[in-house]
Amino acid sequence: MSKIFVDQVDPKTATTLTLGTSGDTVSIPSGVTIANAGTATGFGDSSNFLPIAQPFFINSNMQIYQRGYNFTGVTAATTYSADRWRYETGNIGTYEMNNTQVTAGPAYNDGFRQCARIDCTTADGSPASSDYLYFGYSAEAQDCLAWKKGTTSATTMTLSFWVKSNKTGTAQVNLRDMDNGRMVSATYSISSADTWEQIIVTFPMETSNKLNNDNGSGFNFEWWLGAGSNFTSGAAPTSWEATTDADRGVNNLAINDNTANDWSITGIQAEVGSYTSSTIPPYQWETYAANLLRCQRYFQEIMSGESQNPLCNFVSYASGVLRGTYILPTQMRANPTQTDGAALSDFDILGENTNFAPTALGAESLTKNSFVVTASSSSSTQGSVYWCRGDAEATYTLDAEL
């Protein structure tokens, strides 16, 4: 090694000073400061600066499952085995859907510990034309604006996810624009059975058909797993088109055709721009608490399955009629639907030297921020105050999903 000690290296006028050639490394030792008072380019580009502060998808590591973690005997339903992520089944066999632990493999090594899994328990090898099975996600339109759909600056979307199935083959994932009735698709291949594989696909973004700036459905995502001919007779579109049912499930894994079949997914991310497996930005991790709070915009489990779980305080404004207000921990997407899936005997109303079960329980004045818990019982006395609690079987939920 030789050294040159000089005060300044100055290229000839109007020429460029080049350090090294391709394959060389120009190193800057520890303790050296580079002070830039001019213009430095090429050290980063706009793709290094991700335009979404939080992960686009909510709960895409499947850590939150307020509705439960195991659903069996599902034939025709919308089933959330993880908050925000749903299986849509339409009479194409019977399934167990659950939130399952990831215990080994590349997805585990990438940090993921939960996945959404579907297992075929009754096969349907000859589905009727209108039968369907897919895994889906709906995002609010106002949260999809980063891709600038419908403008001259529309930007490609890159979708990445970890998937595992006993079945190998080609499957289809659709991106749907619910405001304009449009769709585009991408295909992916599962090449190794029962092995976690990271899939990365890109969707083009069209410069027409802008999304609304509202809390309705904007982008919907569909991973097709089985379908009748109404959904398979077309061709998977690689450019945007008017939504056509015949094109939605052309490539599916036919999870429905054997009870040995299962399919699992986790670690889903969407990025603004076009990336490959070597350039995709790292998965953005959220704390459990931050994740739960984002999920509660769409669904809230007020009763948590604990014994002696308090619901609210009541005042009996008339004999037999009780009301109590409830302030929600986060604003919901829309005024929510309330339901309770337990027997009234699972609830207990307590007051001074008394306790009794309600003869009715419900809700009114349902808003995005608060609501009123309603109850009836002839045991209540006008003007008295009470509190209500439930046992471990009591459930009381609010739903404002898309």
Partner 1 sequence: MNIKSVKKENDIAGNLDHYILTDNNNKIFNVPIDPDKENYSGNTDYKAIQKWVADGNTIEEAD
Query: Which listed range, 81-89, 209-217, 280-288, 379-387, lies at the site for partner 1 (CB under 8 A)?
Result: 209-217
Contact flag: residue 204 with partner 1 (CB under 8 A): no
- Which residues share a beta bridge with 347? 390
In the numeric block, which tokens belong to residue 378? 């002839």
In the numeric block, which tokens belong to residue 256? 């429905």
Contact flag: residue 338 with partner 1 (CB under 8 A): yes
Contact flag: residue 210 with partner 1 (CB under 8 A): no
Q: Please, which residue, 191 or 365, has the CB nearer to partner 1?
A: 365
Contact flag: residue 366 with partner 1 (CB under 8 A): yes
Contact flag: residue 330 with partner 1 (CB under 8 A): no
Shortest distance (Å) from residue 396 CB to partner 1: 11
Contact flag: residue 400 with partner 1 (CB under 8 A): yes
Using the rule CB under 8 A, which residue among 129, 189, 192, 365 binds partner 1? 365
The answer to whether 171 and 135 are in contact (CB under 8 A) is no
Shortest distance (Å) from residue 385 CB to partner 1: 17
Enumerate residues 6+ apart whose C-beta is below 8 A from 36: none
Query: Which listed range, 63-71, 146-154, 303-311, 360-368, lies at the site for partner 1 (CB under 8 A)?
Result: 360-368
Shortest distance (Å) from residue 227 CB to partner 1: 21
Using the rule CB under 8 A, which residue among 129, 213, 279, 325 binds partner 1? 213
Q: Please, which residue, 106 or 362, has the CB nearer to partner 1?
A: 362
Number of residues that bind partner 1 (CB under 8 A): 27
Contact flag: residue 215 with partner 1 (CB under 8 A): yes
Shortest distance (Å) from residue 398 CB to partner 1: 10
Q: Which long-range contacts (CB under 8 A, 24 or more apart) does 304-310 make?
A: 305/392, 305/393, 305/395, 306/392, 307/391, 307/392, 308/389, 308/391, 309/389, 309/390, 309/391, 309/392, 309/394, 310/387, 310/388, 310/389
Please report the DSSP string for 217-245 in residue order: EEEEEEEEEEE-GGGTSS---SS-EE--H
Enumerate residues 6+ apart whose C-beta is below 8 A from 80: 65, 67, 86, 299, 401
- Which residues share a beta bridge with 71? 97
The answer to whether 144 and 180 are in contact (CB under 8 A) is no
Q: Please, which residue, 235 or 318, has the CB nearer to partner 1?
A: 318
Contact flag: residue 364 with partner 1 (CB under 8 A): yes
Q: Which of 2, 64, 41, 139 is nearest to 289 (CA)?
A: 64
Q: Which of 136, 113, 105, 135 is nearest to 62 (CA)?
A: 113
Contact flag: residue 145 with partner 1 (CB under 8 A): no
Contact flag: residue 337 with partner 1 (CB under 8 A): yes
Enumerate residues 6+ apart whose C-beta is below 8 A from 253: 165, 167, 169, 171, 190, 225, 226, 261, 263
Contact flag: residue 216 with partner 1 (CB under 8 A): yes
CA distances from 103 to 107, 166, 199 (A): 9, 16, 19
Shortest distance (Å) from residue 317 CB to partner 1: 7
- Which residues share a beta bridge with 302? none
Contact flag: residue 317 with partner 1 (CB under 8 A): yes
Shortest distance (Å) from residue 47 CB to partner 1: 31
Q: Please, which residue, 179 or 206, has the CB nearer to partner 1?
A: 179
Footprint on residues 46-85 left by partner 1 (CB under 8 A): none
Judged by the rule CB under 8 A, the positions of this chain that interact with partner 1 are 212-217, 317, 321, 323, 334-341, 362-367, 399-402
